[in-house]
Structure 1
Amino acid sequence: MTAPSAHVDTFTRDHLPPRDSWPVLEFTIPEVQYPERLNAATALIDDTAAAYGQGRTALRTPDGGTWSYGELLRRANQVAQVLTEDLGVVPGNRVMLRGPNNPWLVACWLGVLKAGAVVVTTMPMLRAGEVAATIGLTRPVVALSDHRFMEGLLAAAGTTTVLAYGGGGEADLVARCGAKSGEFANVDTAADDVALLGPTSGTTGVPKVTMHFHRDILANADTFARHLLRPTPEDVFAGSPPLAFTFGLGGLVVFPLRFGASALLTERAAPVELAEAAAAAGASIFFTAPTAYRAILKAGRSELLSRLRVAVSAGEHLPKETWDAVYTATGLRLVDGIGSTEMLHVFISAAGEDIRPGATGVAVPGYRATILDFDGNELGPNEVGRLAVIGPTGCRYLDDPRQANYVCNGWNVTGDTFLRDDEGYFRYQARSDNMIVSSGYNIGAPEVEAAIDQHPDVMENAVVARPDPERGSVVCAFVVLREGVPGDAAKRKEIQDFVKQTIAPYKYPRDVQFVAELPRNPSGKLQHFKLRDRLRDESRHPAATLPSNA
């Protein structure tokens, strides 16, 4: 720690992992060399409103509503006043947030930081048991929830004070805010005071809780956004990820506010609906997953993307076929990127003419990356291994022994298998737990998924290994078909033959299971581990299957 903490409640500082288990942190570019005293909310709303004017639009909603920077500043101040004056929140206390993407969630998020508290934003669709687990880990003293999502929270809250917003009545947070002056002196936090706790999205099982400082929040914007997206105050950001997902927090809150731009917040929308809302709002920078881009193209609505200046793909591997399809239909060169909750946002990417279709990119300015073998040694070009990265952000888990799994010799090791080609571009191979070995062949599940996705009747799919006594494993594909297409034996063979014609025949899925939907976590990521668990259950209990659309 470099400066005295502002935290009165020292829970987060007391529960940081041991310092010798942290990754190396580097601040190699001027933009991430922050002062010792820093409150991220001051930089994002107070300073931006002063620089660009309080009348500039900050937040937009699909119904045409807007909040100006001045309105957002006043409401964030009012939230901070309610927290400190009415609820007794002191610096370092944790405050949980629960709600869909809308302006009041942003005001609450900023208000918590202004008060020097630690924000814990959760997905609104989490069930009571999942909320209770997060409460048990983070110990919030207050929870602020959209009134439509109170039920599961109340059941899990325990001793946490719960306050709703948006439902009306004198006790509602919105009414309480209306009685406040809207003037607040932001707490003078240290740059390395913990500002947010981010539960991981759980693609590999039990979620962990990541710990991020005030300076980390700004580092997102001052590396990836500043150098690759190059936002201007005229940009309008839009996208699908929830604000509880750090991909969404960066793309829809931190990035636009850092550069005086605005963001369209949609509570929930299917890919085409989201693209329609974004086009209507004049969006110029768009964030979503490859699955959504494919859905927009398959619906024949590529014109909805044509006015974008930048389209970003992250959250899942971007197959070259999807990149090519978007480029052909719209002329957009999709900005691929890989990030993680542990690192807070994207750290490998490329933009514009630097893009190499099929490659994720190179280390974002401020970061450096390499490929490690399983002993922690760096590998050379075109050797497959574990992706590792160092930069101004890094993994710190809250009370979790898995810290030792993520950090190796000072590197953050993401759990993804990559290679670095002769040009220095990093190319995704698979999640480290998603490489299928069948009859001695190494088969990357993402490559098979990309091939199946090209079939015109396939909406989406997920590929995992199914244990096999003769081959060790076989490729198993769970496939969601277009509405009205029967999932029968003929369609199964058709897809298998299609894959054999698209990639090496030995990679084809020997097992194809048609399902109505794929398991995803609340942030929308595919949960391959649930499919592997399901296959194990099927081997013990053959009647157990996923919902079928056959």
Structure 2
Amino acid sequence: MELIKNYLPRTEFESYEDFKGNFKIEVPDDFDFVRDIVDKWAEYEPDKTALVYCNDDGFERRFSFSEVAELSKRAAAYFISLGIKPGDRILTLLRRRYEYWICAIAMARIGAVTVPASIQLTEKDIVYRVNTAEAKLIIALQDSFVLEQIKHMKEKCPSIIDILIVGDEPQKQYPDFNREYIKYDEWNDYSGLANHDEMIIYFTSGTSGYPKMAIHNRTYPLGHIVTAKYMQCVQNNGLHLTQSDSGWAKFGWGNIYGQWICGSAIFAYDPVRFDTHNLMKAMERFKPTSLCIPPTMYRFLLRDGIEKKHVESIQWFSTAGEPLSGEVNSEFHKISGHYIHEGFGQSEGTPITCAFPWLPVRPSSMGKASPLYNVALIRPDGSLCEQGEEGEVVIFTTCENQLGLLSAYYANGEMMNPIQEGIYHTGDIAVEDKEGYYWYVGRNDDMIKCSGYRIGPFEIESVLNTHPAVRESAIIAQPDEIRGQIVCAVILLREGYTSSEALTKELQNYVKENTAPYKYPRKIIYVSEMPKTTSGKIIRRKLRDIITPS
């Protein structure tokens, strides 16, 4: 049984050119990921494995598609009892707990909208996201840090109906999701929503202002057929591992939609903290057949002595999120016998370019354009670049909403069309070589890509500027061998304060306490003045001249 054939007239191609020219996804007028994928697998192959879960404490659990269908029906009934209706938004803080899959499918089942968030977010971050999305529910992990951040949510977020907790220990402050939802009978209706209705929202950082909502409609899972089948090369009845917190769009790329459409089970390895040795043990034991992790994780695995036995079962390696060095790719090939295939994309869509299976791997290259998108490089004036010339990666569109691409942005109280005059701008700069391969150059703004995280400077600067010692701050990226880039803060102190190691640690901890800890500046440089334009704007390119590689 292959459900994917319901959407692809052809699944196999002889070459990249054949793939690019003839690949097509047939989109039904009323596509429903739950009805057409999850429930179909449960009907046709009820014992087919959907999810393999484990953590570092020795807990394991396997879920068939019939179990996912049943449990999500119960969760849907529970959400309805709480007053959740189609279109209502629910914010999740669940790391990689197996309950995320149950909740996400239950939400899609009734037409509610999933708003995933990282468990590293602080109270300020969560309040902003809940109020911006007008979320009705929070479903949060039973974790001391998370519980501390959400304890004032009902006071600060008027849209919240309730807060549900997912955990293993009894607690009385909030309803226990696992104890409550299982009491309900299965809800067997379908939402009856349209393809253009909202399904999932990611908050994506920018260079100015707080994160904006990237809204994806209910056809979004179909766009990830390219991700799963042709970038990650998952197998029907295989086991795929994409290591990502459920709060990130990378999770949607590799942990649910395209993989289940292709019939692959998901390996949900759920560590409290990332540890390369534990990851190696988990891969050796559970034997995933395909793997997609950020370049930083590949670098850590090489550093900590990965051996062939740890990855012997894996037949396809891929990565995205930041450029991968050719040296890392070559070293990994020596150990595993496989090259790592790179993809490039954003939270706003599915892979834009990739080292697809027919293409010889060019280490450090982004590969070639996805057949879903009309990709090009343009100059600042909008004209097309020549091969060998740097330009912005854009997608020329023939319609407002293109499969896999977000349907709208929302920020500052208004909805915005991401496509302007038929063009979607990525903000990323690349160059195309004579063979049609794309090579990443950098951002055309000040976004930072650190260990797979996409970090905007504004949020960090807004925190630092509230510290009594800081007169002005500017956040820039600094190259780093392990993480690709790190966050570097350039700080002008107020009178009466002097730079010191103690102050540096204080400022780093201050950022960790007031926004997500992964955003903290790993390096701080103190300056006597900030280079500025005549209008008073900080000239960031001059700041980059004063930093040195870490």
Counterpart Cα distance in 2 of 1:300 and 1:516? 31
Contact 2:41 2:48 in 1 (8 A): no
Residue 51 of structure 1 corresponds to which residue in structure 2? 44
Contact 1:115 1:187 in 2 (8 A): yes
Aligned length: 449
Counterpart Cα distance in 1 of 2:101 and 2:515? 17
Contact 2:322 2:484 in 1 (8 A): no
Residue 182 of structure 1 corresponds to which residue in structure 2? 186
Compute the TM-score of the two structures, normalised by the length of structure 2.
Answer: 0.73
Counterpart Cα distance in 2 of 1:324 and 1:522? 40
Decide which of 130, 148, 152 is 1:151's aligned counterpart.
148
Residue 162 of structure 1 corresponds to which residue in structure 2? 163
- Please tell me the residue identity of whatever aligns with 1:270: D
Counterpart Cα distance in 1 of 2:326 and 2:299? 12
Decide which of 156, 172, 175 is 2:176's aligned counterpart.
172
Compute the TM-score of the two structures, normalised by the length of structure 1.
Answer: 0.73
- Please tell me the residue identity of whatever aligns with 2:352: F
Q: 1:177 to 1:466 in 2, by over 3 A?
A: closer
The residue correspondences of 1:537-548 to structure 2 (distance < 5 A) are: 538-539=527-528
Contact 1:203 1:527 in 2 (8 A): no
Counterpart Cα distance in 1 of 2:332 and 2:291? 13
Residue 41 of structure 1 corresponds to which residue in structure 2? 34
| 1:270 matches 2:270 | no
Residue 455 of structure 2 corresponds to which residue in structure 1? none
Counterpart Cα distance in 1 of 2:283 and 2:444? 35
Residue 453 of structure 2 corresponds to which residue in structure 1? none
Query: What are the Cα deviations for residues 219-244 of structure 1, in whole angstroms up to 9, with x where unaligned?
Result: 11x22222333422221111321122
Deviation at 1:406, TM superposition (A): 5.9
Contact 1:78 1:183 in 2 (8 A): yes
Decide which of 375, 388, 392 is 1:382's aligned counterpart.
388
Residue 76 of structure 1 corresponds to which residue in structure 2? 72
Residue 372 of structure 1 corresponds to which residue in structure 2? 378
Residue 195 of structure 1 corresponds to which residue in structure 2? 199
Deviation at 1:463, TM superposition (A): 6.5
Counterpart Cα distance in 1 of 2:354 and 2:277? 25
Counterpart Cα distance in 2 of 1:376 and 1:521? 42
Query: What are the Cα deviations for residues 58-83 of structure 1, in whole angstroms up to 9, with x where unaligned?
Result: 33324332122111111111111001
Decide which of 46, 60, 65 is 1:64's aligned counterpart.
60
Q: Helix, strand or coil: the match of 1:241?
A: coil
| 1:336 matches 2:332 | no
Decide which of 347, 351, 356 is 2:356's aligned counterpart.
351
Contact 2:230 2:357 in 1 (8 A): no
Query: What are the Cα deviations for residues 119-168 of structure 1, in whole angstroms up to 9, with x where unaligned?
Result: 11111121111000001110011222223233322323433121223344
- Please tell me the residue identity of whatever aligns with 1:225: A
Counterpart Cα distance in 1 of 2:227 and 2:513? 25
Deviation at 1:91, TM superposition (A): 0.7
The residue correspondences of 1:427-442 to structure 2 (distance < 5 A) are: 427-433=439-445
Q: Any unmatched runs of 5+ in structure 2? A: 1-19, 397-401, 449-475, 491-506, 531-549
Q: Helix, strand or coil: the match of 1:100?
A: coil
Decide which of 403, 411, 414 is 1:399's aligned counterpart.
411
Q: Helix, strand or coil: the match of 1:265?
A: strand
Contact 2:243 2:292 in 1 (8 A): yes
Residue 218 of structure 2 corresponds to which residue in structure 1? 214
Counterpart Cα distance in 2 of 1:312 and 1:418? 20
Decide which of 293, 301, 304 is 1:299's aligned counterpart.
304
Contact 2:118 2:247 in 1 (8 A): yes
Deviation at 1:342, TM superposition (A): 1.1
Deviation at 1:321, TM superposition (A): 1.8
Query: What are the Cα deviations for residues 73-99 of structure 1, in whole angstroms up to 9, with x where unaligned?
Result: 111111110011x20111111111111
Deviation at 1:308, TM superposition (A): 1.1
Q: Any unmatched runs of 5+ in structure 1? A: 1-26, 437-444, 454-458, 468-514, 542-549
Counterpart Cα distance in 2 of 1:462 and 1:308? 28
Contact 2:78 2:181 in 1 (8 A): yes
Decide which of 249, 261, 264 is 1:258's aligned counterpart.
261
Deviation at 1:106, TM superposition (A): 0.9
Contact 1:201 1:522 in 2 (8 A): no
Counterpart Cα distance in 1 of 2:343 and 2:427? 15
Query: What are the Cα deviations for residues 259-280 of structure 1, in whole angstroms up to 9, with x where unaligned?
Result: 2221121223323322321221
Contact 2:113 2:200 in 1 (8 A): yes
- Please tell me the residue identity of whatever aligns with 2:70: R
Residue 318 of structure 1 corresponds to which residue in structure 2? 324
Residue 113 of structure 1 corresponds to which residue in structure 2? 108
Contact 2:91 2:138 in 1 (8 A): yes
Deviation at 1:183, TM superposition (A): 3.7
Counterpart Cα distance in 1 of 2:27 and 2:202? 22
Q: 1:402 to 1:247 in 2, by over 3 A?
A: farther
Deviation at 1:464, TM superposition (A): 8.2
Contact 1:60 1:262 in 2 (8 A): no
| 1:101 matches 2:79 | no
Query: What are the Cα deviations for residues 339-388 of structure 1, in whole angstroms up to 9, with x where unaligned?
Result: 10111x32210134512222111112222211011122211111101111
Q: 1:337 to 1:165 in 2, by over 3 A?
A: same
Q: 1:463 to 1:121 in 2, by over 3 A?
A: closer
Measured on the aligned residues, the alpha-carbon RMSD in Å equals 3.7
Decide which of 225, 244, 247 is 2:247's aligned counterpart.
244
Q: 1:31 to 1:47 in 2, by over 3 A?
A: farther
Contact 1:229 1:310 in 2 (8 A): yes
Residue 484 of structure 1 corresponds to which residue in structure 2? none
Deviation at 1:176, TM superposition (A): 1.7
Counterpart Cα distance in 2 of 1:325 and 1:259? 30
- Please tell me the residue identity of whatever aligns with 2:438: F
* Identical aligned residues as a percent: 18
Residue 127 of structure 2 corresponds to which residue in structure 1? 132
Q: 1:242 to 1:205 in 2, by over 3 A?
A: farther
Q: 1:460 to 1:179 in 2, by over 3 A?
A: closer
Contact 1:224 1:365 in 2 (8 A): no
Deviation at 1:420, TM superposition (A): 0.9
Contact 1:349 1:360 in 2 (8 A): yes
Counterpart Cα distance in 1 of 2:270 and 2:250? 16
Segment of structure 1 superposing worse, 379-388 or 390-399: 390-399
Query: What are the Cα deviations for residues 272-318 of structure 1, in whole angstroms up to 9, with x where unaligned?
Result: 32232122111111121111101111111132234311111111111
Q: 1:527 to 1:430 in 2, by over 3 A?
A: farther
Counterpart Cα distance in 1 of 2:127 and 2:233? 40
